[in-house]
Amino acid sequence: MVLTMEKIQDTFDPKPRKFIVWLFVVSSTIMFGGFTSYYLVFAASKGKGHGLVLPDAFIYSSLVIIASSITLVLASKAMRKLNFSLQRNMLWLTVILAVAFGVMQFSAWSSMVKTGATLVGNNAAISFIYVVSGLHLLHIIGGVGLIINALVGSYKNISPAKSNYRMEIASIFWHFIDILWIYLYVFLLLNR
């Protein structure tokens, strides 16, 4: 009995699990959709948005996160060509860029605080910037976890199917949070 079960389970099918990641992406999109619709209704009913010139650090962090997506694509390409050392280097680079992104978000917040646009204040639209960028940063932490998971997989001797799966879910999620940030940034630029 146990033997037959093991035989059946031998094949590793990544498809349903990858699908889970996609569904998570969907639900996360909905959550940020909820936030931004809060903002739209708020701004429409009050006749005002956050009214700030967004700190330059947000531009740099946007560039950094786009770069991190590119390095992740390069890592996937390297893995497909079986060039594992390049894959690892690119993954490390992605992690470093992710950390840089986090640092820039913090510096953006601190420059906002300096100009008096603090989290707690009379304008919920300004508080909103902190909340959405903060929640996005939580997603970044999760994404870094997935990249490190792929990295660990490439150092350890796991089957190519699994290693491939880890890379794929890291990529799905990371490109998603990249696009998500661009969306949030453009949204905040357009709805001042």
Q: Which of 52, 70, 124, 182 binds another protein (CB under 8 A)?
A: 124
CA–CA dist 143, 171 (Å, integer): 9
Q: Which is nearer to another protein, 40 or 96 (CB)?
A: 40
CA–CA dist 102, 137 (Å, integer): 7
Instruction: State in angstroms the smallest separation of the CB of 139 from another protein.
Output: 12
Q: Which is nearer to another protein, 63 or 161 (CB)?
A: 161
Q: What is the DSSP letter of 158?
A: -
Instruction: State in angstroms the smallest separation of the CB of 75 from another protein.
Output: 19
CA angle 121, 30, 175 (to 5 degrees): 100
Q: Which x/- pattern, by CB under 8 A, does the window 130-169 give for another protein?
A: -x---x--------------------x-xx--x--xx---
Q: Please report, in angstroms and rounded to a whole number, the separation of the first and last CA atoms in the chain.
A: 65
DSSP per-residue letters across 62-119: HHHHHHHHHHHHHHHHHHHTT-HHHHHHHHHHHHHHHHHHHHHHHHHHHHHHHTT--S
Instruction: State in angstroms the smallest separation of the CB of 17 from another protein.
Output: 6
- Contacting positions for another protein (CB under 8 A): 1-2, 4-10, 12, 15-17, 19-20, 23-24, 26-28, 30-35, 38, 41-42, 45-46, 119-124, 127-128, 131, 135, 156, 158-159, 162, 165-166
